[in-house]
Amino acid sequence: MSKNIRDKVAIVGVGACKFGENWDMSREDMIVEAAYEAYADAGIEDPQKQIEAVFCGAVYPNGGTGEVAEALKLFDRPISKLSNYCETGTDTFRYGVMCVAAGMYDTVLVVGFDKPKDRGVSGPSVSFDRVRGLPATPAGWFSLCAARYFQTFDAGREDLAKIAVKNHHNGTLAPKSMLKREITVDDVLNARIISWPFGLYDCAAQSDGAAAAVITRADLGRSFRDDPINVKAITIAVGANPQSDPNFDFLSWKPTQVAAKDAYRQAGITEPFRELDVCQVHDCFTLTEMLTYEDLGLCKKGEAKDFVASGVFELSGELPVNTDGGLKTFGHPTGATGVRMIYENTLQLRGQAGERQVKNAKLALSHNIGGAPQACGIAIIGHP
Amino acid sequence: MAIFASDGRPLPQPTPTTQPFFDAAKKRKLRLQRCPRDGFFYYPRSRCPKCLGDDWTWQDTNGLGEIYSYTVDRIAHDPAFRAFAPFAVALVELDCGPRMTARIADCEVSDLRVGLPVEAHYEDVDDITLVSFRPRTA
Ligand SMILES: [Zn+2]
């Protein structure tokens, strides 16, 4: 069982480059843009002296640390790179937080980045391996859950469509999002099918991007700015591959349930729906967001479609989810996504989220899942 | 390293562990490993996924099951599968216990449903036999 990390580490600076098909930017360009925005946000004038170590997260490049050192001209100090499926960003943040909490360094930079558009395919090439002789994509993996979920809980494509419509709306209000276009439920239902029941609008937009955060010891937070945001919980859980686990029921993400329980315990949360003010959850596909509502304990298993229909997860609702458009429209540069969620939640908690601001946000959760899927990372941050 | 069929599809490459599965498939049998404590399991591997024991044996199953869940690939990410699109990929819950991910053959996409009774179906591709499922004929 994890030990308590609550209120030991503060976020004092966040930044992100614009997410999208960034043909005119290199990975280094995006890293510099995100990191220097985070420096400015934290009031850091001399990163050479003030940034003691760097934690980077990226899925696609094999190397990474030298690239970040060169880009930021931060030499002769610890730089580590992490890759952990789609929860890479959250796990990278976790390593930075643990290192500061352990007292190794006072102030470190966390930077997540990826540039999948240069690869020429929209998604990792994956296959059902071993004896199956079948090809598949992430859409194929996740869609396998849908027919069973629909049948068990009397849900359908129109329930998923409402999630896509919400996230498209929220994305129009986020200056750095990739897609800025309102859509309707009919647009979602009539779009070409990618992997049934997922149509085009059920699938997230893979994009290029980078996001960064400057974190420091909680007791030093106010020396950077007068509104530091504290880390309340940080955890990950890795479970079995659904394709090899005979007991996986394809109705829930077990690692999310396990990680949520641990995160709530760390943060002292007993009623997540009532206590959390804003959430960023992993919406690689609309169904992923639907199941995540349930697995995070925001509602009971099978209730998600009724909660969606009631509008509680919309910007004006009781618990807004994916306020910046999520993976769906803000974009999904794999290694950057978890850090982008920290960026959005920090803005929300400071009251700096502009048109998409959630009123009186004091406690925020971010969530990634990755793999087949088999791993989950959760961060909870809030007012000190 | 991938091997490819004459029609371009990537083919599974039998290993010492999976060879009996493919040998049985060639003879139109769905043969799986069975742990004395935990029953049948799939895919083939060196140890039981539940108890990690290696005292399993190969045993024939009746090859029957029903669709637990499914999706339809209409795009065929791999160009070699475009000739087959749209095709169904299903989780089949076998009578003998485990679930298998497999293609559903001889079935209109519109006829797919959770709970559809299916039987093992065998397709010879070059030197190997692939296992898929099709709606039960009897
Ligand atoms: Zn066993």
A129 CA distance to ligand 1 centroid (A)?
23
Contact by Cβ (8 Å): A72, A54: yes
Positions of chain B with pLDDT lower than 70, given as ranges: 1-2
Cβ contacts of A141 within 8 Å, gap of 6 or more: A126, A242, A243, A372, A373
State the average pLDDT over residues A356-384: 95
The pLDDT value given to residue A130? 45
State the average pLDDT over residues A64-87: 94
Residue A300 in this model has a pLDDT that exceeds 80: yes
B76 contacts A135? CB cut-off 8 A: yes
Q: What is the third-level CATH fold of A9-120+206-223?
A: Peroxisomal Thiolase; Chain A, domain 1 (3.40.47)
Cβ contacts of A334 within 8 Å, gap of 6 or more: A58, A59, A60, A86, A88, A89, A114, A116
Pairing mode, strands A193-195 and A126-128: unpaired
Q: In A, which residues are within 8 Å of B76 by CB distance? A: 135
Burial class (CB in 10 A: 0-12, 13-18, 19+), A302: middle
The pLDDT value given to residue A127? 46
The one-letter amino acid code at A250 reads F
- Please tell me which of the candidates B44, B69, B115 has its beta carbon nearest to residue A131: B44
Q: In B, which residues are within 8 Å of A151 by CB distance? A: 114-115
B100 CA distance to ligand 1 centroid (A)?
18
- Best CA proximity match to A33, nearest among A350, A304, A305, A336: A336
The pLDDT value given to residue A136? 65
Contact with chain B for residue A103, Cβ under 8 A = no
- Which tens digit of pLDDT belongs to each residue from A186-233? 999 999 988 889 999 999 988 999 999 999 999 999 999 999 999 999
- Please tell me which of the candidates A125, A148, A243 has its beta carbon nearest to residue B101: A243
**Pairwise CA distance, residues A38 & A84, whole Å:** 23
The one-letter amino acid code at A89 reads G
Cβ contacts of B24 within 8 Å, gap of 6 or more: B30, B31, B58, B60
The pLDDT value given to residue B110? 92
Which residue do the tokens 């934690």 mark? A55
Residue A16 in this model has a pLDDT that exceeds 60: yes
- Which tens digit of pLDDT belongs to each residue from A241-264? 877 777 788 899 899 999 999 999
Contact by Cβ (8 Å): A145, A251: yes
**Pairwise CA distance, residues B7 & B52, whole Å:** 38
The pLDDT value given to residue B79? 80
Mean pLDDT of the residues in chain A:
93
Domains and CATH numbers, chain B: 14-135 (2.40.50.840)
What are B59's strand-pairing partners?
B32
State the complex-level ipTM.
Answer: 0.77
Neighbours of ion ligand 1 (CB under 5 A): B 35, 37-38, 48, 50-51, 53
Per domain, the residue ranges of chain A are 9-120+206-223
pTM: 0.92
The pLDDT value given to residue A135? 54
* More confident site: A105 or A123: A105
Contact with chain B for residue A244, Cβ under 8 A = yes
What are A151's strand-pairing partners?
none
The pLDDT value given to residue A121? 59
The total of other beta-carbon atoms located within 10 Å of residue A273's CB is 15
**Pairwise CA distance, residues A37 & A331, whole Å:** 19
- pLDDT tier at A126, thresholds 50, 70, 90: very low
Q: What percent of chain A has pLDDT over 90?
A: 83
Least confident of A57-66, A137-146, B30-39: A137-146
Integer-rounded Cα Rg, in Å, for chain A is 19
Which residue do the tokens 């001209």 mark? A73
The total of other beta-carbon atoms located within 10 Å of residue A252's CB is 16
Joined together, the tokens standing for residue A174 give: 């986020």
Least confident of A113-122, A156-165, A245-254, B94-103: A113-122
Residue A120 in this model has a pLDDT that exceeds 70: no
